[in-house]
Copies of this chain bind each other. A is one copy, B any other.
Amino acid sequence: MTNGNAEPGEGKGAKSTLASSVYQQLRDDLLRGALEAESKLRVEWVVSRYGAGASPVREALNRLAAEGLLGRHDQRGFFLMPVSAVELEELTRTRCWLEERALRESIAHRNAEWEEQLVLALHRLARAERRLPEDPATNNPEWEKLHRAFHRALIAACGSHWLIGFCDQLSDQASRYRLISQNAPGMGRDEIGEHRVIAERTLDGDADGAVEALLNHYRLTAAMCMERFAQGYDPKAGAAKARRR
């Protein structure tokens, strides 16, 4: 299943290598929280799932491990990076540090082009459906994409592709946590409103206000994930720290 062989029509017209194709698919599945059952990732399993030889699969796994989405032990293969409450806290804290700096720099160096891209990203996000129309229980992958695009547009003018890359990396991790914990449905949260406030204050040049709104946005999301974590997550994979009595 899901054995979308490397058809020439996949995604864009660019001729990708098999390793890149596996990398992309596996990364999507990881961020989607689609395979959090087992901690270990046998290469043979990946091979049979994505339909590629061992060599390209290993290359893809090496990339993902270098990015921090997977772990690796020499002679012992690859494994899914464990999730835990303390990790989520640390992740959120780091993310707030970096995104605050990035947003302030972006606002300081704002220009017309960047502002237009931001309102565009907000508009697209507002138009998208939060959940899948046919199945309101699961998230809409398209919305996830646009959500990422919006937060990326916010910091796009910060003037450092390094910082943008780091924020992307942390965004990936946060995505994984959000979708693993099956982000609760709304619960009276005005998602689009939060994003709109962030964008408005940013466009107004109100750096302090924008940062405050952005950080609260992240912290609220993290808190909701944490809730689901504490009650519902089964730490059989070994993510548990010292939670038993």
Contacts and interface: CB of A to CB of B under 8 A. Distances in A.
A90 to B, nearest CB: 5
Nearest to A17: B74
A15 B20 CA distance: 29
Interface in A26-77: 55, 58-59, 62-63, 65-68, 73-75
A90 B162 CA distance: 8
Interface in A153-211: 159-163, 165-166, 169-170
Q: How many of chain A's residues touch chain B, expressed as a range? A: 35 or more
Given A1-B67, A15-B75, A93 B55 contact: no
Contacts of A75: 15, 17
Nearest to A56: B58
A91 interface: yes
A112 interface: no
A159 B75 CA distance: 30
Closest 5 CB pairs of A and B: A66-B66, A94-B162, A94-B160, A62-B62, A63-B66
27 contacts: A1-B66, A1-B169, A2-B65, A3-B66, A9-B74, A14-B74, A16-B74, A19-B62, A55-B58, A58-B59, A59-B59, A59-B62, A62-B62, A62-B66, A63-B63, A63-B66, A66-B66, A66-B67, A68-B165, A90-B161, A90-B162, A94-B162, A97-B160, A98-B163, A98-B166, A162-B170, A166-B166
